[in-house]
């Protein structure tokens, strides 16, 4: 598309995307992303953030007309689609175990927006899958070259999520390339969110994903209604690039490889309910525990991480801890918990005064290294007998780029935290697997809501 703008390139791609034309690994990754989003979303029910989101926007048990309405995955109540997207975006992000690409979490904006739009529009499973791929590809096309320039102080999910969600919903609604371009431009104009709450240990960030989902959905609705968005919304003076990256150097490269190189295949998944930056130190700590190292043997720990990650808001925290918003961000808390307990569950993140964990935190020297690659960790553990143990994770992305079977195994590992029986979880997984042939997404929604009586 020589001479086209970023919005036009992204819009044309999203509008024309068809599941039948996708490589099989991309379709399988889309299924994996759906399973992961829904499984960890339900596992996050105990956190209560989705319920708080719904408290300010109560729904109804039976809508006047199902067209335009979608269900909350928290209570099963019906809401206007934009409200359902908000509630479910918060719900899926409650325990911070969503999928990730760089610093962007596409699933918690794309999946809730796509599900709400798909249910409200009564589309088939194939359309939902196409929309999910469109949203991920568009969102990552922007975040991939820009995330290092924006995060922090901005938060990637709040910056790129609205545009990604708009692409997904535009594909659900079957908008033309021109109207999809407008949808993306409208979303770009209302994007943004800070990362300050991570440092403060407060809850604002939990709701940014829901805002991103509903903003993208409403941007697509506005474009469908005829609202025109700027074709140069991204690269123009005072546009998206100027606002968030203070640079337009990447403009010519963004979206050039869409449809040839698939961003979804670079998405990774979190085994633990902590920040993406904490996955490597968490996995390292659990591995050390599994190798036989015990916390009472430890005299000191030197934990080396990427400098930007080690200094990101909330990451250096030593406590005191009073909320999971603090503990899931603290690299020291994640490492100490993994080494003490051999696992990190959401429940363990609430053990704010665990004496063994706090003792170990006091022994950790967190070192940020400018030359260390992102999402890696190296630990030197000095022992009370004056020997040392060393271990490192140098490529966590490769370890966390799971196929569908890996995503399913992780969901099964979380079974005790998911309010579904073994059979109900199998039904949910099957409903995702059969989406290409499903005339409706209703079986998927019903399967997700199967455990609702357990958590209401």
Task: Give dist(CA 392, CA 403) in Å, integer.
Answer: 24
The domain segmentation of the chain, as residue ranges, is 6-269+401-455, 276-398
> Residue 453: what pLDDT?
53
What fold characterizes domain 276-398?
Answer: 60s Ribosomal Protein L30; Chain: A; (3.30.1330)
Is domain 6-269+401-455 classified as CATH 3.30.70.240? Answer: no
CA dist., res. 1 & res. 391, Å (int)? 48
Return the pLDDT at 313. Answer: 93
Query: What CA–CA distances, in Å, run from 23 to 19, 35, 110, 266, 400?
Result: 9, 19, 20, 14, 21
Q: Give pLDDT, residue 166.
A: 98
- In this prediction, residue 179 carries a pLDDT of 98
- Is 6-269+401-455's fold the same as 276-398's? no
Letter string b/e over residues 367-395, b meaning 16 or more CB atoms within 10 A of that residue's CB:
ebeeebebbbbbbbbbeeeeeebeeebee
Peptide bond into 396 cis (omega under 30): no
Beta pairing partners, 104: 101
Spatial distance between the Cα atoms of 433 and 234, rounded to a whole number of angstroms:
36
Instruction: Say what the pLDDT of residue 456 is.
Output: 39
**Chunked mean pLDDT (size 10), the chain, 456 residues:** 81 96 96 96 91 91 87 95 97 95 95 98 97 98 88 92 98 97 97 90 93 98 97 93 83 83 95 95 97 96 96 94 95 97 95 96 96 95 96 94 95 90 94 96 94 54
Beta partners for residue 352, in sequence order: none
Report the phi/psi class of residue 292: left, alpha or beta, with left for phi > 0 and alpha for psi in -120 to 50.
left
Cβ–Cβ under 8 Å, residues 312 and 198: yes
Per-residue model confidence (pLDDT) at position 3 = 58
Distance CA 73, CA 407 (A): 20
- Taking the alpha carbons at both ends of the chain, their separation in whole angstroms is 51
SS (H, E, C) the chain: CCCCCHHHHHHHHHHHCCHHHCCHHHHHHHHHHHHHHHHHHHHHHHHCHHHHHHHCCCCECCCCCCCCEEECCCCCCEEEHHHHHHHHHHHHCCCCCCCEECCECCHHHHHHHHHHHHHHHCCCHHHHHHHHHHHHHHHHHHHHHHHHHHCCCECHHHHHHHHHHHHHHHHHCCCCHHHHHHHHHHHHHCCCCECHHHHHCCCCHHHHHHHHHHHHHHHHHHHHCCCCCCCCCCCCCCCHHHHHCCCCCCCCCCCCCCCCCCHHHHCECCCCCCCHHHHHHHHHHHHHHHCCCCHHHEEEEEEEEEHHHHCCCCCCCCCCCCCHHHHCCCHHHHHHHHHHHCCCCCCHHHCCCCHHHHHHHCCEEEEEECCCCCCCEEEEEEECCCCEEEEEECCHHHHHCCCHHHHHHHHHHCHHHCCCCHHHHHHHHHHHHCHHHCCCCHHHHHHHCCCHHHHC
Query: In this predicted structure, what is the pLDDT of residue 454?
Result: 39
Please tell me the pTM assigned to this model.
0.94
């Amino acid at each position: 598309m020589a001479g086209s703008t970023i919005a036009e390139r992204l819009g044309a791609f999203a509008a024309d995307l068809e599941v039948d034309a996708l490589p099989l690994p991309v379709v399988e990754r889309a299924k994996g992303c759906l399973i992961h989003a829904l499984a960890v979303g339900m596992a996050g029910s105990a956190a209560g953030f989705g319920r708080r989101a719904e408290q300010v926007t109560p729904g109804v048990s039976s809508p006047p007309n199902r067209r335009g309405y979608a269900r909350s995955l928290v209570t099963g109540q019906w809401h206007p689609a934009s409200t359902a997207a908000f509630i479910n975006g918060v719900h899926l992000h409650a325990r911070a175990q969503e999928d990730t690409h760089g610093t962007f979490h596409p699933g918690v904006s794309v999946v809730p927006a796509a599900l709400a739009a798909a249910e409200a529009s009564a589309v088939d499973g194939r359309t939902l899958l196409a929309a999910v791929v469109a949203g991920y590809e568009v969102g990552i096309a922007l975040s991939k070259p820009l995330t290092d320039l924006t995060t922090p102080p901005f938060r990637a999910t709040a910056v790129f999520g609205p545009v990604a969600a708009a692409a997904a919903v535009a594909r659900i609604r079957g908008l033309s390339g021109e109207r999809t371009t407008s949808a993306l431009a409208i979303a770009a104009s209302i994007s943004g969110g800070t990362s300050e709450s991570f440092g403060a240990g407060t809850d604002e960030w939990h709701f940014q994903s829901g805002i991103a989902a509903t903003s993208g959905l409403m941007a697509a609705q506005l474009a469908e209604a005829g609202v025109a968005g700027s074709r140069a919304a991204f690269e123009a003076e005072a546009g998206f690039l100027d606002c968030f990256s203070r640079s337009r150097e990447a403009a010519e490269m963004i979206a050039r490889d869409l449809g040839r190189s698939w961003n979804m295949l670079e998405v990774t998944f979190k085994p633990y309910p902590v920040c993406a930056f904490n996955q490597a130190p968490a996995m390292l700590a659990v591995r050390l525990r599994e190798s036989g190292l015990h916390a009472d043997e430890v005299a000191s720990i030197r934990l080396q991480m990427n400098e930007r990650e080690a200094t990101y808001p909330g990451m250096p925290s030593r406590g005191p801890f009073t909320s999971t918003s603090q503990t899931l961000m603290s690299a020291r808390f994640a490492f100490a918990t993994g080494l003490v307990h051999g696992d990190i569950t959401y429940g363990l993140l609430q053990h704010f005064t665990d004496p063994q964990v706090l003792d170990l935190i006091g022994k950790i020297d967190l070192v940020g290294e400018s030359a260390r690659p992102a999402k890696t960790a190296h630990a030197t553990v000095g022992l009370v007998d004056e020997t040392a143990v060393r271990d490192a994770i140098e490529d966590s992305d490769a370890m966390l780029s799971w196929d569908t079977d890996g995503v399913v195994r992780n969901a099964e590992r979380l079974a005790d935290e998911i309010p579904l029986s073994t059979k109900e979880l199998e039904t949910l997984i099957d409903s995702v697997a059969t989406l290409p042939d499903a005339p409706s997404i209703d079986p998927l929604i019903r399967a997700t809501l199967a455990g609702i009586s357990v958590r209401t």
